[in-house]
Structure 1
Amino acid sequence: MSGQLQYCGIMTLASPLWIAARARLAVRFLRNPVRYCRKVDRRALTFPDPMEGMMHLLVDNNGVKLHVATHGLGTGKPLMLFLHGFPETWASWRHQIQEFAGQYELVAMDMRGYGDSDAPKGVKNYTVDHLVTDVLSVLKAVGHSKCILVAHDWGGTVAWHVAALCPEVVEKLVVLCSPHPAAFKDPKRFDGEQLKRSSYMMTMLSSVAEAHIRNTDFREVERMLVEAPFGARRTDTFSQQDIDRVKAALARPGSLTGGLNYYRAAIAQGTKWRVEAAERVYSSPVVAPTLLMWADQDLAFLPQMFQGEDKLVQQRTVVCLRDCSHWANQDRPEQVNAHIRAFLEGGKPVLGRPASTSNRGSMIMVNVSATAAAGGAASPRPGTPRLVPKQD
């Protein structure tokens, strides 16, 4: 009952935020109704892989198909597994794939609800226990028992839980612009100013905001990525093709709802629902060596959110990315790649290589039934693959 009351209290407090958000959206609409009502059909668009030799897999986790983009599988090299955040896809890691190709086996997931992955209906399908088992299923499918886990934004939240609850599968952890979940429980860090910065999350709960985003060609998503004050610092961070890829992915049936359900589930699992995985992260230390990067121009989080956690993150290196927005791995890829390389190799930073492009890879279906539960390692045996057409 207390959880239900707490949830109702949060929803009541969110009402003024929803009203304010509706007012802002109405003003933007009235300023340029033609632009906001314009709809673009991107279903026929295709998008190149960031480099040659990529393969695409579909992994089945108890009926939910997860799309992953891969490079170098089967070479026997360590696995680097990438998890993205809202509102992105696996392609947000294009700069890191180019940088570390040939040195690691690379796997970039479309998280459930995004891109070519399934978007199951219902908020309960997006609680953190499901998200953790998604990662374990992918790890099992690609034939590895552990990985270097690299994550951003919501992917970072999932990565913190994987590293804490399944320590045997994480060799090293890299997290960008995503505080440890315990930071949100600490009133010294999650203070009034941080609450203001996080208030946008409450607007994500609203079905009105979701409908507005969908019915205005995802213009609000584009603003968030490219326009001040939240957008990227560099004007060339996102090309028009990058924006079209994000919008095309969000336009898939159920995808926008799936992405927003991460926010809805996070509120619900902290109040009206009891999710064991969500509770255990506050008492289960991360033992893997961890690199935590935060951006000095990230309006989502104050620097204090990345402090503390000495007991919960035992081997931690914290790095500030200068003149960098929340979209760190895309906004300042040279900085990010150099810090990752230095962290993994223990040497001097090495700048990233120039980008290259190629045609799409093929897609393979991998069936993985019995997913390992959160808290146990996944078996490294993959399922039986079969070729299926890749859809962009």
Structure 2
Amino acid sequence: MQIAARGLRFDVHVGGPDDGEPMLLLHGFPQHSGEWVHVLPALHAGLRTYALDQRGYSPGARPAEAADYRIAECVADATAVLDALGVDAAHVVGHDWGAVVGWQLAARQPARVRTLTAISVPHPRALGRALSTGFGQRARFAYMRLFQRPRLAERVLLGRDAAGLRLVLRGVPRDRVDTYVAPMRAPGALTAALNWYRALSRRDFADIGPVTVPTTYVWSDRDAAVGARAALACGDGVRGDYRFVRLTGVSHWIPDQAPGPLTEAILARVGRGTA
């Protein structure tokens, strides 16, 4: 379905029983709601899922200015979509940038979040501490300097049959890569997705407090973007019930590479599976 919110139109993929507990799923870069395709069937046994194509990824929600992609705007989108759906509070699952939105939403508007399952990206405090106390995490984030360069990043990522974008997606099963690359070829789509990086500001994360809702953080030990120092410190930013799930031999693309263990972690958090 399409949801009109905040003067934009968001694509939301809905599934599961009408009376199931609501769950909002938030994707990351450079993917879209399709990254949940192997996770959703098990969730639909009892949950009503809303997989949102976020700002910049929904064609009808693609503002032109980089400043329009500040994380506060993306969080406001999530709450506005929940409002439009008539959902007071939802289980929230987010991967990559979707996890960033999930952390912000849970910390700043806990009444809207029943539980949080954050994938790959830890609590901003843990990430900030890792960035300030060691070179390792800063080196892992070096790619962001390219992503923040207008026009250059688009040429590097989409040139030569999107070789750069395919390199970013290294670790995603081959039959899934094209499902993510193809939408990024649409005029303005990649620029909109990169604007999340170009709008990034330390001010957006400086005052985030601890998360008090029940939370699971899922991290994989071959994640090229997030190192162990940041991942292991994630629990320091959570005051609610907390569970850390570490996957071995899996890269950053957990929903595509390890949908089974991820689904188990999600269901355990919402109380519909074994802990």
Shift of 1:327: 0.2
- Rate the CA distance shift 1:189–1:198 in 2: closer, same or farther, 3 A: same
Q: Which residue of the partner structure matches residue 127 of structure 1?
A: 70
Decide which of 131, 137, 151 is 1:194's aligned counterpart: 137
Structure whose alpha-carbon radius of gyration is higher: 1
> Any idea what the Cα deviations from partners look like across 1:245-280, whole Å, max 9, x if unmatched?
2122112222101111111111xx22xxx55xx443
Q: Which residue of the partner structure matches residue 207 of structure 2?
A: 280
Q: Which residue of the partner structure matches residue 211 of structure 1?
A: 155
Matched, 1:297 2:222: yes
Alignment: residue pair count? 273
Q: Which residue of the partner structure matches residue 246 of structure 1?
A: 180
For residues 107-126 of structure 1, what are the structure 2 equivalents within 5 Å? Answer: 107-126=50-69
Write the distance in 1 (CA, Å) between the matches of 2:167 and 2:131: 31
Task: Report the secondary structure of 1:300's partner residue.
Answer: coil
- Contact 1:84 1:155 (8 Å CA) reproduced: yes
Q: Which residue of the partner structure matches residue 79 of structure 1?
A: 22
Q: Which runs of 5+ in 1 are unaligned?
A: 1-56, 350-392
Q: Which residue of the partner structure matches residue 261 of structure 2?
A: 335
RMSD: 1.9
- Contact 1:298 1:324 (8 Å CA) reproduced: yes
Which of structures 1 and 2 has the larger relative contact order (alpha carbons within 8 angstroms, sep 6+)?
Answer: 1
Decide which of 168, 172, 183 is 1:224's aligned counterpart: 168
Shift of 1:138: 1.3
Which structure has the highest helix share of the two? 2
Decide which of 126, 138, 147 is 1:183's aligned counterpart: 126
Give the TM-score of the pair, scaled to structure 1: 0.66
Matched, 1:158 2:101: yes
- Rate the CA distance shift 1:256–1:264 in 2: closer, same or farther, 3 A: same
Amino acid at match of 1:205: Q
Q: Which residue of the partner structure matches residue 250 of structure 2?
A: 324
Write the distance in 1 (CA, Å) between the matches of 2:226 and 2:77: 26
Shift of 1:344: 2.2
Write the distance in 2 (CA, Å) between the matches of 1:127 and 1:253: 21
Matched, 1:63 2:4: no
> Any idea what the Cα deviations from partners look like across 1:144-191, whole Å, max 9, x if unmatched?
100000000011111100001110000000011012111232157751
Write the distance in 2 (CA, Å) between the matches of 1:218 and 1:324: 24
Task: Report the secondary structure of 1:171's partner residue.
Answer: strand
Task: Report the secondary structure of 1:69's partner residue.
Answer: strand
Write the distance in 2 (CA, Å) between the matches of 1:92 and 1:194: 25
Q: Which runs of 5+ in 2 are unaligned?
A: none
Matched, 1:140 2:83: yes
- Contact 2:10 2:58 (8 Å CA) reproduced: no
Give the TM-score of the pair, scaled to structure 2: 0.92
